[in-house]
Amino acid sequence: MLKATKNIEELSPEQAQEIVTAQRAFFKSGQTLPYRFRRQQLKVLKKAIEAHEEAILEALFLDFRKPHFEGYATEIGVVLAELDYISKNLESWMKPRVVSASLLNFPSSDRIYYDPYGVSLIVAPWNFPFQLMMNPLIGAIAAGNCAVIKASELAPHTSALVAEIIGECFDPAFVRLVQGGISTSQALLEQRWSHIFFTGSVRVGIIVATAAARYLTPVILELGGKSPCVVDETADIKLAARRIVWGKYINAGQTCVAPDYILAHRDIKDELVENMVQVIQDFYGENPQQSPDFPRIIDGKHFERVSSFLGDGEIACGGKTDAEDLYIAPTILDKVRWEDRVMQEEIFGPVLPVLTFDTLDEVIHEITERPKPLSMYYFSRRSQRQDRFLEETTAGGMCINDVVTHYANPKLPFGGVGTSGQGAYHGKHSFLAFSHQKSVSKKGNWLDVPLRYPPYKGKLEWVKRAFKFGG
């Protein structure tokens, strides 16, 4: 097993500039443009991931105590599915797309071409350190870019292993992984990139967006926020409890799409809480600290932050902590108020507050008064209510009668809106995220309609007719 590298030397701005210069030269050589090159690089990456599967699972365990099932289901499996889907469809996506021509521009042939941005910076987070490095990288390669990955220093075993995999697979002038802390991130953000892809907190996302704005660099931000989970009185309570508990406590709640809080109808709130308490026991036993299936908090700083929420509301279950073990029990907080601190920021840990409501109007009002969340979940048996909820609220993505699972479908775009992010990826949307869509109109020479040229006298009615029939 590869050990985490200790005392990693921070990158200087000069070293960062050398990396960007080398990658820019590689990109300008044109090697990344052909389909065969991109397809081969994806094939090499897949083979390496499969060869290192056990080592990846062990690295995730060392960083999080993440069980191998979760490591495969939420990291390796997701990445391999993304690789297969993109590899299968890449050739057709790369082809210029023909669109109908404008009547005013007749005769012409109009197409959309997909150009790689060039040299992309991918800044990865710590919570799903393998998947959230690899999936953006797959999109960057598929679109024909070079890429530099900034790995999270908070998941050192996974970062070190991925550095080894990247080094085995790619010329560093094409794809390179950089380790380090804040100084390295700052050195990288000082550079002029063709494109930046960031996953992380809103606070750091603002820093990244500010750095990108200095050069007007295209940027995608995958952030987070407080994702609501609404359960009305018509829901299948036992099923809702099982699905919510599963989605909330994956990775010990350190998941950007986890249900952040529950809005339960007053008539079924107690029943829902009782069922969730039972499900937690069914999943993790009487003492979840002894369960092989419950991960740990990433570090002491995050442990202290999440633990501080335990004073709000009333603890319906859990509440136990062990700082030395970085353990916070799967916890449900009942009788929480909107003004409580636990409702003021994304929890990103195994603490689940429960609030109540009386009407759907109240739910819609409370949700729409707040920043748009990354994800939103609604449990109900009434299709009319489901439709209204979908129409009158918005989020990066939603599930009806489930949580989290929308993330796993590569055919669905994944991304936030407003403070939960900007831009989307996964599947074809990953290819598009790292591509500039170039519009090209190729005009024929055999006819030159004089309508557009001065003098304009007597031509206005003809122009109006042309626009009426499709421009």
Question: What are the backbone dihedrals phi and psi of residue 316, each rounded to the nearest 5 degrees, phi first?
Answer: -85, -30
Q: From residue 116, how far is each of 27, 120, 176, 426, 432 by CA, in Å?
A: 9, 10, 17, 17, 9
User: Residue 5's pLDDT is what?
Assistant: 55
User: Residue 471's pLDDT is what?
Assistant: 58
Find the length of the chain: 471
Residue in 146, 256, 317, 399 annotated catalytic: 256
Quote the tokens at residue 75.
């990291």
User: Residue 444's pLDDT is what?
Assistant: 86
Domain ranges in the chain are 13-223+422-436, 228-409
Q: What is the DSSP string of 368-388?
A: HTSPPPSEEEEE-S-HHHHHH
Active site residue 256: yes
pTM value is: 0.94
C-alpha triplet 327, 331, 333: angle, nearest 5°: 140
Q: pLDDT for 58-108, tens place per residue?
A: 999 999 999 999 999 999 999 999 999 999 999 999 999 999 887 777 888
Is there a contact between 132 and 425 (Cβ–Cβ < 8 Å)?
A: no
Query: In this structure, are strands 435-443 and 421-422 parallel, antiparallel, or unpaired?
Result: unpaired
Residue in 222, 229, 346, 399 annotated catalytic: 222
For domain 13-223+422-436, the question of CATH label 3.30.9.10 is answered with: no
Cα–Cα distance measured from residue 127 to residue 350, given in angstroms and rounded to the nearest whole number: 13
Q: Report residues of the chain scoring pLDDT below 50.
A: 1
Q: Which CATH class is domain 228-409?
A: alpha beta
Cα–Cα distance measured from residue 335 to residue 318, given in angstroms and rounded to the nearest whole number: 15
User: Residue 1's pLDDT is what?
Assistant: 45
User: Residue 60's pLDDT is what?
Assistant: 98
- DSSP H helices, 260-416, are 269-284, 300-307, 360-368, 383-392
Active site residue 317: no
**Beta carbons within 10 angstroms of residue 169's beta carbon:** 16
**Beta carbons within 10 angstroms of residue 287's beta carbon:** 11
Q: pLDDT for 112-141, tens place per residue?
A: 999 999 999 999 999 999 999 999 999 999
Cα–Cα distance measured from residue 367 to residue 41, given in angstroms and rounded to the nearest whole number: 44
Strands of 351-357's sheet, edge to edge? 314-317, 331-334, 351-357, 261-265, 228-231, 375-379, 397-400
